[in-house]
Structures are given as C-alpha cells and as structure tokens.
Amino acid sequence: QQQVKQSPQSLIVQKGGISIINCAYENTAFDYFPWYQQFPGKGPALLIAIRPDVSEKKEGRFTISFNKSAKQFSLHIMDSQPGDSATYFCAASKAAGNKLTFGGGTRVLVKP
C-alpha cells in the first residue's frame, strides 16, 4: 500500500520556469513532510520540510504548499535552473526523526 502518492513521475521545464510537484498522503497521523533532492549516484539531500500547522513555507526558490484538509502538499521550484535537474522525493512521517514514507519520486529536467 503506497501511503504517499507523488506526481508527475517526470517533468520537463524550461530554464526560468516553475516546476510543480504534488504529493498526497493517506495516513492522518503523519505530522512532518520533508522534500529531498537526489542526484544520480548520490544520497538524498534535505531541501525543505513543513509541519501541518502552516500552509506554506519558503526557502529561497523552493516553496512548500500544504493543504491539510485535502491531505496534499506540493513543492514549487521557482526560476528553475539546469542545476535543479534531479529527482525529487516527497516524504512523510509521524514526527521529525521518525521513519519516513517516501513518494515515488519525480525526475525533473530543466532545459537551458
């Protein structure tokens, strides 16, 4: 049973455009929602995380939007750059530091 569904599986965006990745979760006990960026052959790197008591969090060009009633959250990458080309994973856990349930991943390609 996939508890965190991520879409799209892949995304192509022009340099300077906005990349949008969506995730939906089922378990209402989830209380912590991080996003990770992974380059080929490397481990995932934490990008940004949110808790359900806020509806939006921004760090630089990365913004998480959170809709608790719909059990959905999304990552927006503003002014996308070729260096942002990577696979992005959303995840969820019952608390920060607890085991994570990952979405299926989105491969983002930013064309120059």
| Residues engaged in binding another protein (CB under 8 A) | 34, 36, 41-46, 49, 89, 95-97, 99-105, 107
Q: Which CB, 12 or 18, lies closer to another protein?
A: 12
**CB of residue 80 vs another protein: minimum separation in angstroms?**
21
**CB of residue 48 vs another protein: minimum separation in angstroms?**
10
| Alpha-carbon separation of residue 63 from 10, 27, 57 (angstroms) | 19, 23, 6
78: nearest Cα among 63, 66, 89, 56: 63
Query: What's the CA gap between 58 and 43, in Å, rounded?
Result: 23
Q: Is 83 left (phi over 0), alpha (psi -120 to 50) or beta?
A: alpha
**CB of residue 98 vs another protein: minimum separation in angstroms?**
8
| Secondary structure class of 9 (helix, strand, coil) | coil
**CB of residue 93 vs another protein: minimum separation in angstroms?**
8
Q: Which CB, 83 or 97, lies closer to another protein?
A: 97
Q: Which CB, 45 or 78, lies closer to another protein?
A: 45
Structure tokens belonging to residue 36 = 């990770």
Q: Which CB, 14 or 98, lies closer to another protein?
A: 98
